[in-house]
């Protein structure tokens, strides 16, 4: 009985390996906030302050907007909308 179970297990492992070689799964792209990140240098990255909530965020993660000719950086689209609403 144990020999049969071991044989079934061995066949399953062999079948799985064969399927992996014949039909390899493509690598998935990262989605969400990680996908927009830019490569960082060994020195780090410049930090910018959100004028709405005061949070400091890396420049590569910030949401940027040009408001009244000046570049502003926000931690989220929500802060950007609130800033625009408060500074009409």
**Got the DSSP string for 20-65?**
HHHSPPPPPPP-GGGTTPPP-BTTB--EEE-TTT--EEEGGGPEEE
Domain residue limits at 74: 45-88
Residue 11, domain member (yes or no): no
pLDDT of residue 56: 93
Q: pLDDT by residue (tens digit) across 46-84?
A: 899 999 999 999 988 899 999 889 999 999 999 999 999
Residue 5, domain member (yes or no): no
Residue 66, domain member (yes or no): yes
The number of domains in the chain is: 1
Name the β-bridge partners of 26.
Answer: none
Q: pLDDT by residue (tens digit) across 2-52?
A: 999 999 999 999 998 888 888 877 766 555 555 555 555 567 788 999 999
Residue 72, domain member (yes or no): yes
- The CA distance from 74 to 88, in Å, is 17
Residue 17, domain member (yes or no): no
| CATH code: domain of residue 54 | 2.30.170
pTM listed for this prediction? 0.51
The Cα angle at residue 45 between residues 55 and 74, in degrees rounded to 5:
30
pLDDT of residue 24: 76
Residue 19, domain member (yes or no): no
For residue 19, CA distances in Å to 5, 68, 79 come to 21, 58, 48
Q: For 17-21, which contacts have Cβ atoms below 8 Å and span 24 or more sequence positions? A: none
Residue 67, domain member (yes or no): yes
pLDDT of residue 72: 93
pLDDT of residue 23: 82
Residue 75, domain member (yes or no): yes
């Amino acid at each position: 009985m144990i020999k049969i179970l071991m044989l079934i297990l061995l066949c399953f492992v062999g079948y799985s390996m064969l399927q992996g070689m014949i039909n390899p799964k493509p690598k998935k792209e990262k989605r969400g906030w990680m996908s927009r990140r830019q490569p960082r240098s060994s020195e780090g990255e410049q930090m910018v302050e959100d004028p709405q909530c005061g949070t400091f965020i890396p420049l590569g993660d910030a949401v940027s907007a040009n408001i009244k000719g000046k570049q502003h950086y926000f931690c989220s689209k929500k802060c950007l909308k609130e800033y625009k609403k408060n500074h009409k």
